[in-house]
Structure 1
């Protein structure tokens, strides 16, 4: 007896009618936003070689990847991230293209998040990647403003964008001399704001300016005061430059009319290690976790042999769709305008007539019943107001 033929795997779910409409609505709006800003769509394979995600800054935990083998015994993974495959794509097929490149995507990603409650291992993600450009500051502002527009499009009064800089964390943790495993553990504890465990781990490196700064990192969020607080905890020339850069971007974004919706979080330490500069996360009121995240990644494509700066972000389409449903946006299925019934000997003609009606903009259903009475009862049960019979004559009946 089969045990699992009536359920979906953990971390996945079926979507029904209104849920599908909500997802498609989000996808359509994001596609419209991205394309109007000059971004062109690309699609990468759902299956990639494991090596694509195992470089120095693209080191995904193997236990989080869905893995299989191809016919030659090589390890294949289901795509856990969209930015890395696009970096591969740019470094190979688009390496001779004129820069900057503006690319957008709308595709599924897969990641085994067994430790997360209510996890979603299959997620539809839409986003942009801005590749190249002489002025990284201009590129950062373009992507940040597009991110804000994406959030505002779905809840203009209640969205929030948190801005940080991964360099702040990287500069501090580099001074510890920790190995990769410990560094990853510190990152995870900061990301989850697990203060007790973070303090215990950092105690093994002694009590000094760096460990004290790292202990405070999860608390460095809020408004403009965060920059002064961070500088008072620990600073050097590199960290001062990082704080000044982030503060400027925070102030410029706030000045565009988004004041109160932009905040600072220097504790943003993404599990993807390819970020090199600004990082940010976006939130909507009815979703408990971020629905948008991104940042600058200037070294990723060099791992594929193409040294080029880039910045981008991705949107969790499914999370945004759930948000829209919760705030009361309706995604109702369209009721057909009519049921078309073919009398005996006129079934094919009825289907042809139904097609003619659809070309005129109507939504129709072809009756699969044997009698007019059954067809009329079906129409009434579905709230369809009209029955059209096709025989020697074409008749319309209000039901």
Structure 2
């Protein structure tokens, strides 16, 4: 007995007509932007070996992976994200390519999302990866490209904002704290989610030193340029002072591009701390409660694949952007310009007539009906303004 033949699995959906149209528009806009900046497209397999996502820097929680086996019993997963597969490609097929490498992708990712969060297990991502440079200009290129992407995604009616942080602050503080890997991950999660009570409870068991006090206040370090002064008063070391100095310079430079009203500093942005090593960003669109863009610098990931080069990049949730655009724009599927009705015996002639019209850039359908009355009803229902009748002569009916 079939129970699930008329529904989609949890976390997935069908995309119809206008949804497909607006997704394609967004993808085309981003394709053109990335190509204009010298990025080349690549696509990785939807199926990867489980090991790809279990590197030291890029460990992906296996409970969030869709898993299956191949004919040899080896463990495979549906691709949960795109950066780690691209790191694999760069370390193998692109190892001899000139650096820096500028790559972009447009592909689906699959991962289990928490229940009742309203997130999709399958989503389309577009993003870029800049491999082989640790320069300040590379970070500027990445952040300004993220801004241009958000601007393109937002259109004229939707505002956007960008959060700027650096994973190094959390890493340096945690390096001074005597914590197990499990405690470290728990602290990271509580800071990221800004769960102050639970964070304080955990840190209270680890003493009352300056490091603990700084970690307790890290989630609150977000806002404008005043954040840098607050951070410098919490804890000072040579490395943290250097990180804050570099981040402040980036904040000031990016402010000149988009204005301080759209830019926020968040030192409590510590998503996937082992993955990121430096500047991290999140981008938001008005009308969507979570980030639609995220990324940053990840200088250690490629070394896990045997290719020790720095890297930075970001990914855009195309489905989320499409949802925002559908709310703020009226999107309509364009009806055909004409429908071609073939009299009996003139079907091949109708094909030729339809092709001539299509060659002129028109959208043309065939009328798959036996009578003109039915053709007229169909054209009226679909909003098609012209009926082309093909017989001994070719005539048009408005």
In 2, distance between residues paired with 1:45 and 1:159? 32
Map 1:72-221 onto structure 2 (within 5 A): 72-115=72-115, 117-133=117-133, 136-155=135-154, 158-221=159-222
Contact kept, 8 Å, 1:106 with 1:124, in 2: the verdict is yes
Map 1:324-363 onto structure 2 (within 5 A): 324-327=325-328, 329-363=329-363
Query: What root-mean-square deviation, in Å, do the aligned CA atoms of Structure 1 and Structure 2 show?
Result: 1.3
Residue 67 of structure 1 aligns with which residue? 67
Residue 264 of structure 2 aligns with which residue? 263
Contact kept, 8 Å, 1:108 with 1:124, in 2: the verdict is yes
- Whether 1:375 and 2:385 are equivalent positions in the alignment is no
Shift of 1:362: 0.7
In 2, distance between residues paired with 1:159 and 1:317? 15
SS of 2:106's equivalent in the other structure is strand
TM-score for the superposition, normalised by structure 1: 0.97
SS of 2:261's equivalent in the other structure is coil
Residue 52 of structure 2 aligns with which residue? 52
Shift of 1:352: 2.8
Shift of 1:206: 1.4
| Structure 2 residue runs without a partner (length 5+) | none
In 2, distance between residues paired with 1:273 and 1:44? 23
Shift of 1:257: 4.3
| Structure 1 residue runs without a partner (length 5+) | none
In 1, distance between residues paired with 2:44 and 2:249? 35
In 1, distance between residues paired with 2:7 and 2:115? 20
Contact kept, 8 Å, 1:60 with 1:272, in 2: the verdict is no
Contact kept, 8 Å, 2:224 with 2:260, in 1: the verdict is no
Shift of 1:116: 5.2
Residue 386 of structure 1 aligns with which residue? 386
Shift of 1:106: 0.6
Comparing 279-288 with 173-182, greater Cα deviation is found at: 173-182
In 2, distance between residues paired with 1:104 and 1:184? 30
Q: How many residues end up aligned between the 2 structures?
A: 396
1:138-162 Cα shifts (integer Å, max 9, x gaps): 1000111100111122336721110
Shift of 1:281: 0.3
Comparing 291-300 with 173-182, greater Cα deviation is found at: 173-182
SS of 1:129's equivalent in the other structure is strand
After TM superposition, the runs of 4+ consecutive aligned structure 1 residues lying more than 3 A away are: none
